[in-house]
Structure 1
């Protein structure tokens, strides 16, 4: 017997719960380098041909391409990052919300899918006392894996116990 697939509402609630626990108390250029390197090592260990981008106040503080990643991955990073900057939620959660409302980016927000992508892999970088200061974005794995890689890394950076982290399920 397989476990029951969570509803869209349950998946969105999980994303919201993750977002509440991934606030950072401090973030500077050194933190961007450490976070980016952690993502790089995790992607390398998983064998993902990944592009990684950490942007704060629209300035790229970390960018890397693992072997096998290409310009296409860089473009996906741009599109996912644009969506997080627009909505302030993860690109995965944005995709879930669009699915729940049975609509598209174009119909709901009037933006082009050429410049915005509701697929997992971009996440708001949240600083306690400041709010959203930027984004952490990856592209190169299946979208669910992109999302979970970023969230798990931010979860640990925020000092949350990994034993309490729950990955988003396949949809």
Structure 2
């Protein structure tokens, strides 16, 4: 196993929620939008629980392509119950590409960073939070930072 995969797996074990309702989606989504605005990042933010879209915001400078990327990355989270970056890293660690070896339609699935599972303690993955608009590692890092802050605030 390579270092990237190990680090991404550690994030997934660490960033587990005790609950996640509609109000939580608003808080997490608003936090992501605030972080992006503070950095001048043109991103789209999406949060889903199951098949329901709970939060969506497209900042200036984004396009419908960002919506499509969020959909494709979230499908990877739904399929694998892992972040889209981790799924892509696992394929790369084996010397393969997701597009040619996953047997999933690349028009519908993208193992590029930016979608992270909403995992509830004792339940498992119930949804996904995603960002699109930055390089994939930066999309992923923004989501991780927001989840860390969200969990810190919830612990207070």
Is the TM-score greater than 0.5? Answer: yes
Q: Contact (CA 8 Å) 1:98, 1:105: kept in 2 or not?
A: yes
Q: Which runs of 5+ in 1 are unaligned?
A: 1-7, 161-171
1:24 matched residue in structure 2: 17
2:72 matched residue in structure 1: 79
Q: Shift in Å at residue 95 of structure 1?
A: 1.4
Q: Contact (CA 8 Å) 1:105, 1:112: kept in 2 or not?
A: no
Q: TM-score, normalised by structure 2?
A: 0.93
User: Does structure 1 residue 139 correspond to structure 2 residue 114?
Assistant: no
Q: Which runs of 5+ in 2 are unaligned?
A: none
1:124 matched residue in structure 2: 117
User: Of residues 71, 79, 90 in structure 2, which corresponds to 1:97?
Assistant: 90
Number of residues of Structure 1 aligned to a counterpart in Structure 2: 153
Q: TM-score, normalised by structure 1?
A: 0.85
1:1-171 maps to which residues of 2 (within 5 A)?
Answer: 9-159=2-152
Q: How far, CA to CA, are the matches of 1:145 and 1:75 in structure 2?
A: 18
Q: How far, CA to CA, are the matches of 2:100 and 2:142 in structure 1?
A: 30
Q: Shift in Å at residue 156 of structure 1?
A: 2.2
Q: How far, CA to CA, are the matches of 2:95 and 2:105 in structure 1?
A: 17
